[in-house]
Amino acid sequence: MTRPNLTRKLVVEAPDRIPDGGGGFAETWSPIGEVWAEVTTRGAGREIDTASRLQLKITLRAAPQGAASRPTAGMRFRDGVRVYDIEAVTEADASGRYLTCFAVEEVAA
């Protein structure tokens, strides 16, 4: 594996459920840290006519499984106003120095 170019500073966010006062809940997002990453496309898909899904591969320095600093599926990255929803996370290489996060960005058409 070639060394990734970690030049994008991303905020890692985790979902929080807050009671809405009516018996349900509202979902908000809380920042839990920042990472330097390489963001590349992995192809593009098309959903319904109102949105386009850009598929991304995001590479960052590894953290052990179970560590609070390790992103997981269901979390997201924020890059300014852009949001990347994390679908899956795996080690990028056999040495375990980097993680690959497979994410999507919804883009309004």
Q: 56 near 41, Cβ under 8 Å? A: yes
Contact predicate 73/87, CB 8 Å: yes
Confidence (pLDDT) at 52 = 80
Nearest to 41 by CA among 58, 61, 21, 24: 58
Q: Which of 79, 75, 57, 78 is nearest to 5 (CA)?
A: 57
Identify the pLDDT of residue 46.
Answer: 52
May I ask the CATH architecture of the domain 8-108? Beta Barrel (2.40)
Closest of 39, 45, 54 to residue 7, by C-alpha: 39
CB atoms within 10 A of CB 29: 14
Q: For residue range 61-103, what is the model confidence (pLDDT) as tens digits? A: 998 888 888 999 999 999 999 999 999 999 988 888 999 999 9
Q: What is the pLDDT of residue 49?
A: 46
More confident residue, 60 or 45: 60
Q: What is the pTM of this model?
A: 0.84
Q: Which residue has the higher pLDDT, 51 or 57?
A: 57
DSSP state of 80: T
**Helices within the chain (DSSP H only):** none
